[in-house]
Amino acid sequence: MAVNEGSINTNNNRGRLLVKCPDKPGIVAALSKFLYDHNSNIIESSQYSSDPEGGTFFIRIEFHSEGLQEKRQVLEDDFKTLASTFSMEYRFTYSDKKKRTAIYVSKEVHCLMELLWEWQSGDLDTELVVVISNHETARPIVESLGIPFYYIPARKDIREQVEEKQIQLMKKYQVDVLILARYMQILTPNFVNHFPNQIINIHHSFLPAFIGARPYERAYDRGVKLIGATSHYVTNDLDEGPIIEQDIERVDHRDRINDLKKIGQQVERRVLARAVKWHLEDRIIVQSNKTIVFR
């Protein structure tokens, strides 16, 4: 099985702490003191307050601590008192526990190819454990890298049975993150509810314009001047989940329909790859239907 060089992380003493809580004085000082008291060195820290007077405070801290594997349970147990004091929602993650990722794809493989390249080069810090598709198109690409590939035909009339198979596969492979790399199927509420803030999607940024089929053809007819893409978490509100990343490219009257599609695919590839990378690096905190992204 192919293994990307970046998948072997020799530094097992790094951790991340993400916190969301009501804003008040003393939060940063308390967090810093806690880590200092536990012989931890802060490597990176980013914070944001929605409003210093009665708003919500967000912070991401990356830290190094010798012997972290052995003492992480003590660290987490001791943190509960501090978290209670400041009414914190929080999570710890660790560099030696890579997230396990599944990719869903249909016929168009440009986003899949970008993710595979990023993974092979070590820029996606994840265990890529399975690819699922409702077409056979991507099989040779995926299996050449030693990644399990499952072809599961999907139609509206068998959607529940299909998703039950997919859920079982997610359990089998202990998947943490699901990436919809141009997977052209609508997910049911039952499926989405199994994976809150774990499903990342990509789509063109014409929305809410040109909803439905042939968006590039209709955008060409309308004479658009910008082509874009949006990556977001999937919720039960179709294409309206918390936005992670967006980007655009300018186009003009010389660009034909195929040009627009090609430009759109280029934007989709880089936007999805950035969104996935930030998720894997725990740089995102979801707040209602928005995201705080510590880039």
Q: How far is CA 272 from CA 49, 116, 169, 249, in A?
A: 27, 12, 23, 15
Find out whether 11 and 65 touch, Cβ atoms under 8 Å: no
Same-domain check for residues 147 and 244: yes
d(CA 92, CA 44): 15
d(CA 180, CA 202): 7
The domain in which residue 60 lies consists of 5-94
Same-domain check for residues 216 and 284: yes
**Helix H segments across 158-229?**
159-172, 189-194, 215-222
Same-domain check for residues 63 and 203: no
Encode pLDDT of 80-136 as tens digits. 999 999 999 999 999 999 999 999 999 999 999 999 999 999 999 999 999 999 999
d(CA 20, CA 234): 21
**Which tokens is 25 given?**
């004085």
d(CA 43, CA 60): 11
Which of 125, 239, 247, 259 is catalytic? The answer is 239
pLDDT at 11: 74
Instruction: Output helix, strand, coil percentages for the chain, rounded to the nearest 5.
Output: 35, 30, 35
Give the CA count within 13 Å in the CB-facing half-sphere of 269. 17
pTM value is 0.93
Same-domain check for residues 39 and 174: no
CATH number of the structural domain spanning residue 38 = 3.30.70.260
Lowest-confidence pick of 30-34, 168-172, 215-219: 215-219
- Compute the average pLDDT of residues 166-182: 98
Encode pLDDT of 28-77 as tens digits. 999 999 999 999 999 999 999 999 888 999 999 999 999 999 999 999 99
Q: How far is CA 291 from CA 110, 144, 243, 286, in A?
A: 26, 36, 6, 4
Same-domain check for residues 266 and 130: yes
pLDDT at 103: 98
Same-domain check for residues 103 and 88: no
pLDDT at 10: 44
Find out whether 161 and 155 touch, Cβ atoms under 8 Å: no
Indicate the number of domains in the chain.
2
pLDDT at 1: 42
Beta strands in the chain (DSSP E): 14-22, 40-49, 56-65, 89-94, 99-105, 126-133, 149-151, 177-180, 199-204, 226-233, 243-250, 284-287, 290-293
Encode pLDDT of 236-290 as tens digits. 988 889 999 999 999 999 999 999 999 999 999 999 999 999 999 999 999 999 9
Q: Would you give the DSSP letter of residue 186?
A: P
Encode pLDDT of 8-30 as tens digits. 444 789 999 999 999 999 999 99
- Compute the average pLDDT of residues 145-169: 95
pLDDT at 295: 93
pLDDT at 238: 82
- Compute the average pLDDT of residues 214-233: 94
pLDDT at 223: 95
pLDDT at 169: 98
Neighbouring CB atoms inside 10 A of 167's CB total 15
- Compute the average pLDDT of residues 132-156: 96
**Which tokens is 213 given?**
């089929």
d(CA 181, CA 106): 8
How confident is the prediction for the chain on average, in pLDDT?
A: 94
- Compute the average pLDDT of residues 137-161: 95
Same-domain check for residues 110 and 84: no
pLDDT at 5: 43
User: Is the model's pLDDT at 7 over the cut of 80?
Assistant: no
- In the residue annotation, 259 being an active-site residue is answered as no
Same-domain check for residues 71 and 107: no
pLDDT at 35: 98
**Which residues partner with 61 through β-bridges?**
17, 45
Give the CA count within 13 Å in the CB-facing half-sphere of 180. 23
Same-domain check for residues 61 and 150: no
Same-domain check for residues 119 and 263: yes
